[in-house]
């Protein structure tokens, strides 16, 4: 039980589940009157859906959320109880399995209401439905003009015993941009659409709107339930909102590799495909055996930071599928030395935000795309 598993040698993503639990508790304290949904879509943003789901529940999360029904069904099949909601449905998806597995499902339009109704009849039990409003994100959800039709059809389904409308919900477009005018507009539209549904007779268990940035900065959006993804993994939703530490969050994932080769190279030596880096003088090169095949973004070629032997280095030249090179200058390190791509920053290592900036993207994408070839090593797993 207390034995430490051998460290995978090439590359590993350490997942600190104690940090995840602490983040869940911190987020719950930010939204004290709301229940918390731990969003574990896309394999828990790359951290592993199942261990993260379990740790989040241990820390008090009442709900789990996924995008696809398959993701939610996989959690159920692994023995996860409680409320699990999934929201990204496509015609032909496994509605009946979802009803039988007691999932909470989202409905954004009439086609979905028809499919879930048919599935509930086949299953012989009512479906638990959350009606999704498009209050201004312009993505999934039902627009205000179409809402009365969806609400009355859902109420008819409720009267027939095919379903229960347990949730009314929506999603924000710009919660990560402090002061963005769309937030107040979406909030007002959400209130109007909820009032309409309730006026028609819908009695939702939960009304929900807030994602991580809204949980952290927009208390008016909290309602009965908040849906937290990125913040639970200890990553700031946007640098404008503060660093993870400033937000009281602790990064959960540390990505590190072991140098596969350290070698002296002469001045004028081209490095990696395309020779986008050429040594300026005699130097020492370190080979980091991880690349875009592991989810390290090629777009960070020449820029991505790595901590080796206490020093920050930048990727020299291009990131290849399986490896990249750092110029170690005069540094004395050997093969096997640790190269930390990102982590909490305690040891001076870069953070996932540094990689997001180096790759011209957001931190969400960096952690989520760390691939299946990278073993996850869990710390703080429950017995
Ligand atoms: C992904 C997602 C969330 C979580 O967003 P974070 O910004 O990661 O907290 C919440 N709600 C919906 C609908 C989502 O798709």
Active-site annotation holder among 41, 45, 132, 233: 41
Task: Decide: residue 301, CB within 10 A, 0-12 exposed, 13-18 middle, 19+ buried.
Answer: buried
Ligand 1 atom having least distance to the Cα of 67: 15
Ligand 1 mean position, distance from CA 264 (Å): 47
Ligand 1 mean position, distance from CA 211 (Å): 5
Mutate to test the pocket of ligand 1, among 52, 141, 217, 229 (most ligand atoms within 8 A of CB): 229
CA 9 to chain centre: 26
Q: What is the pLDDT of residues 179-211, one digit of tens each?
A: 999 999 999 999 999 999 999 999 999 999 999
pLDDT, mean over the chain: 97
Question: Could you tell me where the beta strands, DSSP code E, fall in 70-119?
Answer: 83-86, 104-107
Confidence of residue 1 (pLDDT cuts 50, 70, 90): very low
Q: Is residue 300 helix, strand or coil?
A: helix
Is 273 annotated as catalytic?
Answer: yes
Closest Cα partner for 358 from 373, 337, 341, 372? 341
The DSSP-derived string for 58-71 is HTT--EEEESSHHH
Q: Domain coordinates of the chain in residue numbers?
A: 31-233, 253-379
Q: What is the pLDDT of residue 381?
A: 82
Task: Decide: residue 371, CB within 10 A, 0-12 exposed, 13-18 middle, 19+ buried.
Answer: middle
Q: What is the pLDDT of residue 5?
A: 58
Q: What is the pLDDT of residue 383?
A: 54
Contacts of 371 (CB under 8 A, 6+ apart): 293, 294, 295
Interval 325-346 mean pLDDT = 95
Q: What is the pLDDT of residue 378?
A: 97
Q: What is the pLDDT of residues 345-378, one digit of tens each?
A: 999 999 999 999 999 999 999 999 999 999 999 9
β-bridge mates for residue 339, sequence order = 257, 308
Q: What is the pLDDT of residues 144-185, one digit of tens each?
A: 999 999 999 999 999 999 999 999 999 999 999 989 999 999
Contacts of 18 (CB under 8 A, 6+ apart): 379, 380
Residue 2 pLDDT exceeds 60: no
Q: b/e for 237-269, b at 16 or more Cβ within 10 A?
A: bbeebeebeebbbbbbbbbbbbbbebeebeeee
Look at the chain and count its residues.
Answer: 383
Is 41 annotated as catalytic?
Answer: yes
Interval 219-224 mean pLDDT = 98
Active-site annotation holder among 45, 233, 263, 273: 273
Distance, CA of 157 to CA of 164 (rounded, Å): 8
Q: What is the pLDDT of residues 281-296, one digit of tens each?
A: 999 999 999 999 999 9
Q: Is 67 in contact with 88 (CB distance < 8 Å)? A: yes
Q: Which CATH number fits domain 253-379: 2.10.10.90, 3.40.50.720, 2.40.37.10, 2.60.60.20?
A: 2.40.37.10
Q: What is the pLDDT of residue 4?
A: 59
Q: What is the pLDDT of residue 3?
A: 53
β-bridge mates for residue 307, sequence order = 312, 340
31-233 CATH: 3.20.20.10
Q: What is the pLDDT of residue 282?
A: 96
Ligand 1 atom having least distance to the Cα of 237: 7
Tokens standing for residue 214: 């809204």
Confidence of residue 8 (pLDDT cuts 50, 70, 90): confident
Confidence of residue 221 (pLDDT cuts 50, 70, 90): very high
Q: What is the pLDDT of residues 112-145, one digit of tens each?
A: 999 999 999 999 999 999 999 999 999 999 999 9
């Amino acid at each position: 039980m207390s034995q430490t598993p051998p460290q995978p040698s090439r590359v590993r993503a350490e997942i600190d589940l104690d940090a995840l639990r602490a983040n869940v508790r911190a987020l719950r304290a930010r939204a004290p009157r709301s229940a918390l949904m731990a969003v574990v879509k896309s394999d828990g943003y790359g951290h592993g859906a199942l261990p993260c789901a379990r740790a989040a529940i241990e820390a008090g999360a009442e709900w789990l959320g996924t995008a696809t029904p398959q993701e939610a069904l996989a959690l159920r099949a692994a023995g996860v109880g409680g409320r699990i909601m999934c929201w990204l449905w496509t015609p032909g998806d496994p509605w009946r399995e979802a009803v039988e597995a007691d999932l909470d499902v989202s409905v954004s339009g009439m086609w979905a209401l028809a499919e879930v109704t048919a599935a509930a009849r086949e299953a012989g039990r009512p479906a638990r439905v959350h009606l999704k409003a498009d209050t201004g994100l312009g993505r999934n959800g039902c627009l205000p003009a179409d809402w009365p039709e969806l609400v009355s059809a859902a109420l008819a389904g409720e009267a027939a015993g095919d379903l229960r409308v347990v949730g009314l919900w929506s999603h924000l477009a710009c919660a990560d941009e402090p002061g963005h005018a769309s937030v107040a507009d979406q909030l007002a539209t959400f209130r109007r659409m909820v009032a309409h549904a309730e006026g028609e007779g819908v009695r939702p268990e939960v009304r929900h709107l807030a994602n991580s940035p809204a949980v952290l900065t927009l208390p008016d959006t909290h309602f009965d339930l908040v849906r937290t993804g990125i913040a639970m993994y200890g990553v700031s939703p946007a640098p404008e909102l503060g660093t993870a530490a400033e937000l009281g969050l602790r990064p959960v994932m540390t990505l590190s590799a072991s140098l596969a080769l350290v070698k002296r190279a002469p001045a004028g030596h081209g490095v990696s495909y395309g020779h986008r880096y050429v040594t300026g003088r005699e130097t020492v090169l370190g080979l980091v055996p991880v690349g875009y095949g592991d989810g390290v973004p090629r777009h960070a070629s020449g820029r991505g930071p790595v901590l080796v032997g206490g020093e920050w280095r930048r990727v020299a030249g291009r990131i290849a599928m399986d490896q990249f090179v750092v110029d170690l200058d005069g540094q004395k390190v050997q093969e096997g030395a640790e190269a930390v791509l990102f982590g909490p920053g305690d040891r001076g290592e870069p953070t996932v935000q540094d990689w997001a900036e180096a790759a011209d993207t957001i931190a969400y994408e960096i952690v989520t795309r760390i691939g299946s070839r990278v073993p996850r090593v869990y710390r703080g797993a429950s017995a």
